[in-house]
A = this chain, B = another copy of it.
Amino acid sequence: MTSIEHSPLTRKLSAFVALSDVELDVLERLHQRRRSFVAGREMVHQGQSARAAYILSAGWVCSYKLQADGTRQIVDFQIPGDFLGLRSVLLRTSDHSFEPIVDIEAAEVLTSDLLEAFAQTPRLATAILWAASRDEAMVVEHLVGIGRRDADARMAHFLLELGSRLALVGMGGKDGFDCPLTQYHLADTLGLSAVHVNRVLRQLRESGLVTFRDGHVTFHDYGGLVELAEFDSAYLDQTGPLLK
């Protein structure tokens, strides 16, 4: 049905697996229970046990961990088409907080509905688990970035990864994308101070590589960025293990 306009999640999964009409239908039905959250107010606090998962349909969210000394480390961002708290419902775990960066729209998915959908359409289950697995690969890549790349490469890599993810749901391309993040978000993501983030951004801009300004990221020299970041999108692109 509605082959005209699909949800971002559908769009993303379809890029990797050809889903049947039945599967598409089940997938769309997971989006029924719509909810909204306002920017800035924590959706889930770390340690709180999750009741449901969400499929983000509009807006950006970040997941992070707070430390006793007040600093925070952003672990990941969720953009339209991403699951939010998937693991937390399958197994209560994943002890971090979620905060909408802008006002968001999300579909609430009850554990029971999800399991039922999985039972009905195993290929859909595999596709969703593939997506979850890809999220994990991103966390690992994030770890590598913080551990072994200097600030410039880290920033470049982050922007490239974000661009690729957004492109997958039609929200950007090799020329750039809209981005509601502040430099503080970038700092908490990359393990830098906000001041240094600003310096790095200036340097990347003055090198003619990329501009981050007024809520928009513009790639001026995509190839140059890729080289600086040693960006290899294999961990994002891999066509699923399931294309049977």
Residues of A within 8 A of B (CB): 47, 65, 67-69, 71-73, 75, 87, 90-96, 126, 129-130, 133-134, 136-137, 139-144, 146-149, 190-191, 230, 232, 234-235, 238, 240-242
Counted per complex, copies of this chain come to: 2
Give Cα distance in the complex from A94 to B92, angstroms: 22
Which of A65, A129, A134 is most buried by chain B, counting CB atoms within 10 A of its CB?
A65
Question: Is the pair A148, B72 in contact by a Cβ cutoff of 8 Å?
Answer: yes
With A75-B140, A90-B129, A91-B130 already in contact, 8 other A-B pairs whose C-beta atoms are closer than 8 Å: A75-B144, A87-B136, A92-B241, A94-B136, A95-B137, A139-B143, A142-B143, A147-B190
Residue of B nearest to A142 (CB): B143
Give the residues in chain B near A137, CB-CB below 8 Å.
93-95
Tell me how far the C-beta of A162 lies from the nearest C-beta in chain B, rounded to whole angstroms: 17
